[in-house]
Structure 1
Amino acid sequence: MIRLRRRPVPPPAPEPGDVLAETAGLSVRLGAREVLSGVDVAVRAGELLALVGPNGAGKSTLLSVLAADLPPTSGAVRIHGRPASAWSAPELALRRSVLPQSASLSFPFTVEEVVRMGRAPWSSARPEDDDAAVAEAMAATEVTGFAARPFSALSGGERARVALARVLAQRAPLLMLDEPTAALDLRHQELVLRLCRERALAGDAVVVVLHDLGLAAAYATRVAVLRAGGVAADGPPDEVFSERLLSEVYDQPVEVLPHPRTGAVLVLPNRDG
């Protein structure tokens, strides 16, 4: 008897405030080191959540667990209301898209071919949307002009934008990005965060690992400040970003000031001492 594979069903559009990914009492141990301990965090539709904190605080590990790419040592992880382990890989691919810190390919794919890879989860669901999704993602990230170039021939910043285009083309309602601005110039850092904010305003849930506290303050709906594997604070940037907290977390004196024109939060290192 031939057993037919059940096609994964795309998720319904989330309602504002729906929790699309969350952890409860999360702990992760890698080797002898406990990287995360007792972490409770939620990613909601309509919000852009920035994970910030010093090197080694557990930001990328938390993102990997939220994406169901890394199993927890203990605690609960849920995606779209179900335990992360209950979803199959095809089902997950329709619900969340993930941008890792770096992208490398062994074969000479063109830029357009790389972006089109993001449509693979939809091959049996809505393939008629592929061309429009790919074109839209490439235009948004400004990579249309070199669609035919080999991915391997691109600069680091260009590769980062192409990798982001692949993730955007996937059109999952939960978008997870690990340091998406690290290789980008000033203009494209702003471009990426604007795209993230637009996705959140359109109703998706976006979680981004950032080192630039200014970008986090300018674009994030919420920030979770990680320190030594735990969440030191979680809330809107203008409430969470205080001189005392950030100076303690980063072990570096900082100043938190209002922008002279907009009043937005500015975070600067205090270089007086």
Structure 2
Amino acid sequence: MRLLRHRPAPPAPASPGDVLARAEAVHVRLGSRPVLHGVSVTVRAGEVLALVGPNGAGKSTLLSALAADLPVAGGTVRIHGRPAAEWSAPELALRRAVLPQSAALAFPFTVEEVVRMGRAPHAVSPAEDDLAVAEAMAAAEVTGFAVRPFSALSGGERARVALARVLAQRAPLLLLDEPTAALDLRHQELVLRLCRERARAGDAVVVVLHDLGLAAAYAHRVAILRAGRIAADGPPAEVFSERLLSEVYDQPVEVLSHPRTGAVLVTPKRNL
């Protein structure tokens, strides 16, 4: 018989538009180096918010600050309306789930054991845990290698297992750092569809992306970071302009409309 320790209760379901996380004039330093400079951003239930920008712009740092995994030097991060520091670790684990850029384990856990780690914050029945794990593995398409050691997987397979762990956690705020970086085309689309599905179900999703095409296709809102500041924040169709993106990335780009759907397409200008 599994012994259930006392754990805090999960939050009540959010309504569309509820603010689940907010950075208010946040400053972050890594060592002696300032990385974020007065950044403000709001994360709402029912939305996918993509953080984009060039390398070193502060995307992952902002995500870590929103997750309360990184202390801020100034400003405030609020999660579910309260300053992040006021939540205990178990309370935070019921409110936000974090997918880091890379996942490494020192012990030979199986895929299913790794995904089951996402259930650690919950004090529910084993049957409910089993269901959450099974649904998460199916969504991430990792059920077929549930008994394989995590260490024996390819980089893309590990990334999907790590995502399944986050899904199994069933927190209303998902914070994903470059979840598509190691994935092939099919699984990149799968991951972003899952993000939209979670938002449609009422969760808030923040995802760091390098692929502007994916951000334009799947994000409800995009925050463009440049040198630790927000250069623009809004729907992709409004903030993805040729002038701004060319300036931010120091690379000429074209912003086009898809000939059939009218969706925003972003492509570098190339002289071939």
TM-score tier by shorter-chain length is over 0.9
Deviations 1:134-190, CA, capped at 9 Å, x for gaps: 000000111000000000000000000000000000000000000000000000000
Q: Distance in 2 between matches of 1:57 and 1:193?
A: 22
Tell me which amino acid in the other structure corresponds to 1:135. Answer: A
* Partner of residue 24, structure 1: 24
CA RMSD of aligned residues (A): 1.1
Seen in structure 2, the aligned counterparts of structure 1 residues 82 and 128 have a Cα distance that, compared at 3 Å, is: farther
Deviations 1:25-49, CA, capped at 9 Å, x for gaps: 1000112211000101010000000
3-state SS of paired residue (2:22): strand
Question: What does 1:234-273 correspond to in 2, within 5 Å?
Answer: 234-272=233-271
* Partner of residue 130, structure 1: 129
Q: Distance in 2 between matches of 1:136 and 1:171?
A: 11
Number of residue pairs matched? 268
1:59 aligns with 2:72: no
Q: Distance in 1 between matches of 2:213 and 2:128?
A: 36
* Partner of residue 41, structure 2: 41
Percent identical pairs in the alignment equals 82
TM-score by length of 1: 0.96
CA shift, 1:7, in A, is 2.8
Question: What does 1:80-91 correspond to in 2, within 5 Å?
Answer: 80-91=80-91
1:207 aligns with 2:219: no
Q: Distance in 1 between matches of 2:21 and 2:127?
A: 28
3-state SS of paired residue (1:28): strand
Seen in structure 2, the aligned counterparts of structure 1 residues 73 and 112 have a Cα distance that, compared at 3 Å, is: same
Contact 2:7-2:121 within 8 A present in 1 as well: no
3-state SS of paired residue (2:120): helix
3-state SS of paired residue (1:60): helix
Q: Distance in 1 between matches of 2:101 and 2:148?
A: 22
Question: What does 1:173-252 correspond to in 2, within 5 Å?
Answer: 173-252=172-251
Seen in structure 2, the aligned counterparts of structure 1 residues 151 and 39 have a Cα distance that, compared at 3 Å, is: same
Contact 1:49-1:223 within 8 A present in 2 as well: yes
3-state SS of paired residue (1:39): strand
1:15 aligns with 2:15: yes
Q: Distance in 1 between matches of 2:137 and 2:7?
A: 28
3-state SS of paired residue (1:115): helix
Deviations 1:176-209, CA, capped at 9 Å, x for gaps: 0000000000000000000000000111000000
Contact 1:253-1:270 within 8 A present in 2 as well: yes
Tell me which amino acid in the other structure corresponds to 1:86. Answer: E
My pick for the range that moved more, 186-195 or 126-135, is 126-135
Deviations 1:53-88, CA, capped at 9 Å, x for gaps: 000000000000000000100001100000000000
Return structure 1 stretches of 4+ with deviation > 3 angstroms. Answer: 125-128
Deviations 1:113-139, CA, capped at 9 Å, x for gaps: 0000000000x2455410110000000
1:146 aligns with 2:145: yes
Which 5+ residue runs of structure 1 have no aligned equivalent? none
Q: Distance in 2 between matches of 1:26 and 1:6?
A: 34
Contact 1:10-1:125 within 8 A present in 2 as well: no
CA shift, 1:225, in A, is 0.1
Q: Distance in 2 between matches of 1:95 and 1:128?
A: 22
Contact 1:48-1:205 within 8 A present in 2 as well: yes
Tell me which amino acid in the other structure corresponds to 1:36. Answer: L
Q: Distance in 2 between matches of 1:77 and 1:112?
A: 33
* Partner of residue 92, structure 1: 92
Tell me which amino acid in the other structure corresponds to 2:130. Answer: D
Contact 1:99-1:178 within 8 A present in 2 as well: yes
CA shift, 1:246, in A, is 0.1
